[in-house]
Amino acid sequence: MDYKKHLISSDALVKEVLSRLNTLAADAILFVVDGDNRLMGSLTDGDIRRGFIKGYTLQTPIVSFLQPNPKYIKRSNYTVAELEDYRQRNLKIIPIVDEQNIIIDILNLRIKTSMLPVDAVIMAGGRGERLLPLTENCPKPLLKVGDKPIIEHNVDRLIKYGIDKITISIRYLGEQIKTFFGDGSSKEVRIEYVEENEPLGTFGALSLIPEFSSEHVLLMNSDLLTNIDFTDFYLSYISSEADMMIASIPYQVKIPYAVLQIEKGDVISFDEKPTYSYYSNGGIYLFKRSLLSYLKKGDFFNATDFMELLITQKKKVAHYPILGYWLDIGKPQDYAKAQEDIKHINL
């Protein structure tokens, strides 16, 4: 998104303001800036209309029309809860400013749901052997579900939540994935790659990433199809004060018989056809960047090993139940189900 289309100089004429607002259509708001792009105020059709009611004319300086205290986001100091409040109040276009109040970007909440302060990593190195022959010449993440590859559904969902730096871990036919996404500029984000020479496990591959810019890391498998609410996931993680939060899949087991409760060989009670609830690992993790100190570069480390290590180290590991859609595309029947489900779900 070209944020500069929402900026207008303080010495512009009212007629130009009206023309620019008309061009912006559904996103009709302008931010008045000085010569250094420093935020001075905002202008909408309503501000101009109210000015005319006061007696202003087309020759009146636009600084007389502007709203001098618009909402804005300070890039170095904002909370996701604050953005969620803006969204709930139906604010759509919000300027992002630096420490000098110079506008450096625009958040369009009509297009993006939030601006999560995390680095995202997508694991896309697996061979997908259970999906042969489909994966003989195409990496599983690039198999299409609906009109686009599985991994692109996930990349687009991360972008929807304002995540603008994504690292993809590749191995099997990884060059195809690099060719498909490039550096991410076509999607107005930054996409980088790390390549596993040999399988390192879900968390082992993280040791190959030279640096992270955020304090929190979002890690997910590339072969998932899900409409998880990443904002709610992040807010739950922050409020829980967990070191790691695992997205989980609620799973129920129904027993068709009465289950006896036994103590010292005697039946002390029974449950008639009970249902037991469990939570399975959903392949999406949010955790503190500092936990990466447990990893040694190039060492194998799968997800269960990492979770067990954190628990033994007395770290807080919480879970977040995905109550929406989630599907792990591992087998041919999963892929067939995804092709049908994509017709009916909103990702």
Residue-wise over 184-194: b if at least 16 C-beta within 10 A, else e? Answer: beebebebebb
Place of tokens 């991360």: 158
pTM for this model (two decimals): 0.88
Q: Residue 1 has what pLDDT? A: 64
Q: What is the CATH number of domain 3-108?
A: 3.10.580.10
Extract the residue ranges of the chain whose pLDDT is less than 50.
Answer: none
- What is the residue type of 130? R
119-341, superfamily in CATH? Answer: Spore Coat Polysaccharide Biosynthesis Protein SpsA; Chain A (3.90.550.10)
Q: Could you state, in order of their start, the residue ranges of all structural domains in the chain?
A: 3-108, 119-341
DSSP string, 15-77: HHHHHHHHHHGGG--EEEE-TT-BEEEEE-HHHHHHHHHHT--TTS-GGGTSBSS---EETTB
Query: Are the C-beta atoms of residues 162 and 73 closer than 8 Å to each other?
Result: no
Q: Is 11 exposed, middle or buried, given 0-12, 13-18 or 19+ CB atoms closer than 10 A?
A: exposed
The pLDDT assigned to 62 comes to: 93
In terms of Cβ atoms closer than 10 Å to its own Cβ (0-12, 13-18, 19+), residue 42 is: buried
**CB of 134 closer than 8 Å to CB of 335:** yes
What letter does residue 91 receive in the DSSP assignment? -
3-class DSSP state for residue 251?
Answer: strand
In 10 A of CB 2, how many CB atoms? 8
**Token duo for residue 260:** 């006896």
pLDDT at 346: 85
Asked, colleague to colleague, whether 3-108 and 119-341 share their fold, the answer is no
For residues 344 and 332, what is the distance between their CA atoms, to the nearest angstrom?
20
Q: By three-state DSSP, how is residue 102 classified?
A: strand
- Percent of the chain that is helix, strand, coil (3-state, to 5): 35, 30, 35
